[in-house]
Structure 1
Amino acid sequence: MGPDNEKAPTKCSAVSTMDRSMPDFDYSHLTNELRQLVIEDIKADPKRFSPEDIQKVYSDEWFIARYLLRVKLDVKSAHQMLRKALEFRNSPIISIREFPEEFYKIGALFHYEPDRKGNIPVYMRVRMNQKIPLVTQFLKSFLFRVIEEADQRAGGKGIALVFDLQGAGFNNIDMDMLFFVITTLVNYFPKGLSYMLVHELPWIMRSVWVIARQWLSEDHKDLVKFSDAQTIYEYFVEENLPDFLGGTCKRDYRALASNCITIAQAAKRWDLNEEELYRIKKRFATYLPPEVEDQPQHAG
């Protein structure tokens, strides 16, 4: 549980991406110019882009404007960045939208209730991270979808990426996945990251965050913040925190998506054999709550 109400800090350390480097003039003509450039790309080769993203190009103002804001309204740079992002979003792995229920049940990666500034947090419980080469690409796709859902919920207000390092060790650190998380937010959800909160960082793992900070541009380096059991309440009210961070929010962060599939169905789609499926199920079982692990899986 959190501290008593009279001891709870009134200070708000959370920040918003909307408070940084916003133009004080109308730049809609630049947004229209960028949109036309991308529409020309779409007309030239529509198969390179997903139908959903094509619709966003035509109708979603923020979907276009955020790339301009990321590169200080440079239309040429924004065009290159947006085109690359659209192609990435339409790649075979990233375009996956159905994931095994175990991805949800372990409660290691999810978006939750807003922070004190209205940012939507994405929680990553690092101690549950397992390097499973067989499913690494699919975990990246799942991570992308969780971030995308959080970004849609935020509606332009921003995302807070929370790394919970309670109980984590070096064996839980995956530098490739960490690099993917950071570059995904910066390059494919520009102007979406309000800050990264590193919670309960052990001193022996500080070198990891020194490296991770080097991956950030100069204007993003100051977005890395740190918290502990007391200062976490400067970012979140107790009622919006999950239980493992001392919060009282009752929303189930292990809730299944309506379109999730069984791990057996996923293995078939991913061309994994029975032995590989067994190894994956065994690794996931380590972090499944007992009452969840014993439940029968959904019917296929």
Structure 2
Amino acid sequence: MEAKSIKTDFKLIVENVRNQFLLIASNEPDHFDQRDMEMVKSNDWWTERFVKVNNGNERDSLNQMLNAFRWRKSFGVNDRALNDAPHEFIKGAAMFPHGFDHKSRPVVYLRAKMYQKIQRLNTIFQQFATGIIEHVDRLAGRKGFVVVFDSTGMGWRNFDIDFLQFIHQLFQHYYPCGVRSYIVYNLPKMLRPIWKLSKLLVGSSIRVFHFCNSAEELSQFIPNDNILYYMGGESYDDFTEYEGSQGAPMARQLAPKLGYSKEEVDKFFAMFEEQIRDTEKLLEPTKKR
């Protein structure tokens, strides 16, 4: 009886928070996206997740939800498709969705070796990362998703506190209760001390972190036929080709829209050529099949 009461109370809190949110949002049309409001009306999870992360506190749940949806409007989350990102980002594969874990939750991969901080490209890379998380989060719903940090070949130059803080914002503030577990794959021993800082920044408890150094260990969480071939698994999929990624324009085509000069494109995006070559080498077995 007590358990039923708790469940009923939680449902009422979700309903109250949603009603308050919709009332405030309807009075501030310039700060909220109408598409998001329709999503909140039709999908309980988009309110429930904020109530859950705030342990049922109505005021805190509402405030976080309002801040998250104001951000979605200001950041243009609904205004971009995955293939609006530069072709070079997609083919460099610093971040991509692929397959599912044993609990049928979608998986997002971050290849740390491929990441390098370029101040001029920060915003566009954040938009790219947000697009992937938005895609996977919608696919996952209340089941949530898994994040694999592939640390193979990672060095100190790939460690960027600003990007980790942005990821923290996404997972903790804008998509709360979306990530069900983090899997850290093949982390070099010399970098393990800094992982404590990383865990603080992404705001996760230690129980949802798993360290794996082989495909065998990874297969405890992800089916072997979903683990990519280059990681020792049986999936020969081209991980640079995923739903919504086709037809992405080259950086040079996007330059005027993004406000970059030809010289800036040549300077910054030339750095991605090495990443793309590295990724293509990993895909060679796929192309031979």
Residue 234 of structure 1 aligns to a residue whose secondary structure is coil
Give the alignment partner of residue 91 of structure 2, picking from 96, 99, 105. 105
C-alpha offsets along residues 111-150 of structure 1, whole Å, 9 cap, x if unaligned? 1111112221110011111111111111111111111111
The normalised TM-score by structure 2 is 0.87
Aligned to 1:89: 72
Residue 40 of structure 1 aligns to a residue whose secondary structure is helix
Aligned to 1:74: 57
Residue 62 of structure 2 aligns to a residue whose secondary structure is helix
Aligned to 1:265: 253
2:40 matched to 1:57?
A: yes
C-alpha offsets along residues 165-223 of structure 1, whole Å, 9 cap, x if unaligned? 11111111111112211221111111111111111111111122111122355x73322
Aligned to 2:263: 275
Matched letter for residue 273 of structure 2: A
Matched letter for residue 148 of structure 2: V
Distance 1:92 1:187, change over 3 A: closer
Give the alignment partner of residue 240 of structure 1, picking from 226, 238, 245. 226
Aligned to 1:32: 15
Provide the C-alpha distance between the structure 1 equivalents of 2:279 and 2:94, rounded to a whole number of angstroms.
Answer: 17
Matched letter for residue 273 of structure 1: S
Matched letter for residue 89 of structure 1: R
Provide the C-alpha distance between the structure 2 equivalents of 1:205 and 1:263, rounded to a whole number of angstroms.
Answer: 33
Provide the C-alpha distance between the structure 1 equivalents of 2:101 and 2:212, rounded to a whole number of angstroms.
Answer: 14
Provide the C-alpha distance between the structure 2 equivalents of 1:80 and 1:283, rounded to a whole number of angstroms.
Answer: 41
Give the alignment partner of residue 211 of structure 2, picking from 223, 226, 250. 226
2:140 matched to 1:154?
A: yes
Residue 162 of structure 1 aligns to a residue whose secondary structure is strand
Deviates further, 260-269 or 94-103: 94-103
2:162 matched to 1:176?
A: yes
2:105 matched to 1:119?
A: yes
Q: CA deviation at 1:290?
A: 8.1
Provide the C-alpha distance between the structure 1 equivalents of 2:276 and 2:36, rounded to a whole number of angstroms.
Answer: 35
Aligned to 1:284: 272
Question: Number of matched residues?
Answer: 270
Greater fraction of residues in helix: 2
C-alpha offsets along residues 261-291 of structure 1, whole Å, 9 cap, x if unaligned? 2211222111111110101221110111389
Q: Greater relative contact order (Cα 8 A, min sep 6): structure 1 or 2?
A: 1
The normalised TM-score by structure 1 is 0.84
Provide the C-alpha distance between the structure 2 equivalents of 1:244 and 1:251, rounded to a whole number of angstroms.
Answer: 10
Distance 1:72 1:253, change over 3 A: same
Provide the C-alpha distance between the structure 2 equivalents of 1:290 and 1:40, rounded to a whole number of angstroms.
Answer: 51
Q: Percent identity?
A: 23
Provide the C-alpha distance between the structure 1 equivalents of 2:7 and 2:218, rounded to a whole number of angstroms.
Answer: 36
Matched letter for residue 222 of structure 1: R
1:180-199 equivalences in 2 (<5 Å): 180-199=166-185
Provide the C-alpha distance between the structure 1 equivalents of 2:202 and 2:110, rounded to a whole number of angstroms.
Answer: 19
Runs of 4 or more, structure 1, over 3 Å off, are: 92-97, 289-293
Provide the C-alpha distance between the structure 1 equivalents of 2:59 and 2:98, rounded to a whole number of angstroms.
Answer: 36
Aligned to 1:132: 118
> 5+ unaligned residues in a row in structure 2: which ranges?
282-289
Residue 90 of structure 1 aligns to a residue whose secondary structure is helix
Residue 284 of structure 1 aligns to a residue whose secondary structure is helix
